[in-house]
Amino acid sequence: MPKAVKSAKRQAIIEVYAFCEREKTQKNLIIPLAQVRARVAAMTNVSEATVTRILRQERDNSSFCKPGPSRVPTPGKKRPNRAMNINLDQFDLCAIRHKIMSFYSVRKEIPTLNKLLVELRKEINFEGGRTTLWKILKRLGYKYKSGQSNRKVLIERTDIAAWRFNYLNQIKEYRAEGRTIVYLDETFIYSLKGAKVSETSEFEDGVLITDTGTAKRWIIAHAGTAQGFINNALLLFKSQTKLSDYHGDMNSVKFIDWLENQVLPNLLPNCVIVMDNEPYHTIQINKVPNMSSSKTDMIEWLYNKGLPFSPNVSKTVLYKLIKENKPEPLYKADELLKAHGHIVLRLPPHHADLNPLELIWGVMKRQLAEKKVGQTDGQVESLIKETFDTVNDDLWEEKCSLVIKTEEDYREKDKIIDEASDNFMSWVSSGSEESDSDSELSSNNEDSHNMIPRHLFDHTYLPKEALS
């Protein structure tokens, strides 16, 4: 297939051809050959000054006047990204979701990027622009869906909305049954020399550290209920990595060992265990082959399942058969807890506001930041453990009550949105397609940043360097 010629080059070809045709008709040069710039200007229908300026700009270009094809860039077309420092935590992401839901349930209007920017800049001091906000919305599972009327409606992914709906119903039923709800979570704390409290924090009432590059970091995992922390369930160890994300210090081996030896022995019977979806929480024990697997592995899997197939077919056909018979995933942690009579309830992605332990971390970090401590490992660990002892049952009850109110808020907003969905969706035709861009999103005054995806995007702290 011949290479497509863009409109600007096509126009130039037509103008040069017309000039040459005029010379052919006159059987004489219109402009003498010695006047090269004048001839180029006349052929391309621009001024001699424009030709001179372009030549001057390209003098330093290594491809200028070299034989063979070359690519001449358009001045100003490629602009450097603006560096911005933006701190986003899980509670900021929750605030964005609540604001979107409030537009539908309270204000009865469709949120546009411009409207959301105005609100978020006031409420969470959001410093990003339209493009950054749109990338965050996509991470949260939102898309603009357009229809024949050209109206675009911001729609949450159906799997996330359904996940939240089922979670809220299940946890309400378990509470009504009198089941003990146990929340698990992990976090990190830096050594506290030079630490300061900041209004922009990783969690509610959290802290930022003045020099995280040299500070040591401790990883914490714990579990608790409305009656307080689970006895002897504290996991505390010093990080051995310098990664900005503490999840690099945790793995499935440590997590399962912690569950087996510190959490399970101290749980009451018949508990409901609430946890997020970090990779080390979701190690699958019944993995199935994918298209990257060898054909031998695919055949072995199908054979072990007793499924009829022909070994002479292609991998594509085998994989289609595998997908049609793929079982529900079984996770190592879930099966371990179920074997001891407990139920696992998974938080929806980016719903940290449904875990009271996230709120407890913030209180503890503020307390730690207000204290002075030496730099020995023993002193830091002792202070962390002492701070855990100060978290009483009243604080746990307060944060659990707050989470229950948040659950009710989600239920109420989801119900209103569901009842009003027909009115909003009447602007969207049934055959419309989802769009990855807002109709108002333009190239002017945009800030482009790379968002770092994680497994289910859950429990992710976005440091400054992730958005710069």
pTM of the full predicted structure? 0.71
* Of 140, 95, 143, the residue nearest 119 (C-alpha): 95
For residue 176, the model assigns a pLDDT of 97
Question: Residue 385 pairs with which residues in a beta bridge?
Answer: none
Q: Is the dihedral of CA 56, 57, 63, 67 positive or negative?
A: negative
Q: Give, for all 468 residues of the chain, the pLDDT tens digit.
A: 566 777 778 888 888 888 888 888 888 888 888 888 888 888 888 888 888 888 887 775 644 445 444 556 666 555 555 544 567 888 899 999 999 999 999 988 889 999 999 999 999 989 889 999 999 999 999 998 875 566 788 899 999 999 999 999 999 999 999 999 999 999 988 775 544 443 333 334 344 444 445 567 889 999 999 999 999 999 999 887 765 555 567 889 999 999 999 999 999 999 999 999 999 999 999 999 999 999 999 999 999 999 999 989 999 999 999 999 999 999 999 999 999 999 999 999 999 999 999 999 999 888 887 775 556 777 888 888 888 988 999 999 999 999 999 999 999 999 998 887 766 655 554 444 444 444 444 433 333 333 323 333 333 333 333 333
Q: Is the dihedral of CA 170, 171, 175, 178 positive or negative?
A: positive
Answer left, alpha or beta for residue 369, where phi above 0 means left and psi between -120 and 50 means alpha: alpha
Beta pairing, strands 272-275 & 181-190: parallel
- Give the number of other CB atoms < 10 A from CB of residue 139: 20
The pairs formed by 401-406 with CB atoms below 8 angstroms and a separation of 24 or more are 402/356, 402/359, 403/353, 403/354, 403/355, 403/356, 403/359, 406/353, 406/354
Q: Are 107 and 99 in contact (CB under 8 A)?
A: no
For residue 145, the model assigns a pLDDT of 83
CA distance 215 to 217: 6
For residue 197, the model assigns a pLDDT of 41
- Give the number of other CB atoms < 10 A from CB of residue 113: 20
For residue 412, the model assigns a pLDDT of 95
For residue 370, the model assigns a pLDDT of 77
Within 8 A by CB and 6+ apart from 23, the residues are 29, 30
CA distance 162 to 165: 5
* Of 390, 358, 404, 400, the residue nearest 222 (C-alpha): 358
| DSSP-derived secondary structure letter, 60 | T
CA distance 14 to 22: 12
- As a whole number of Å, the end-to-end CA separation of the chain is 41
For residue 121, the model assigns a pLDDT of 92
Residue type, 83: A
- Give the number of other CB atoms < 10 A from CB of residue 287: 11
Q: Rg (Cα) of the chain, in Å, rounded? A: 30
| Structural domains of the chain, ranges and CATH numbers in brackets | 11-54 (no CATH), 90-160+429-467 (no CATH), 170-410 (3.30.420.10)
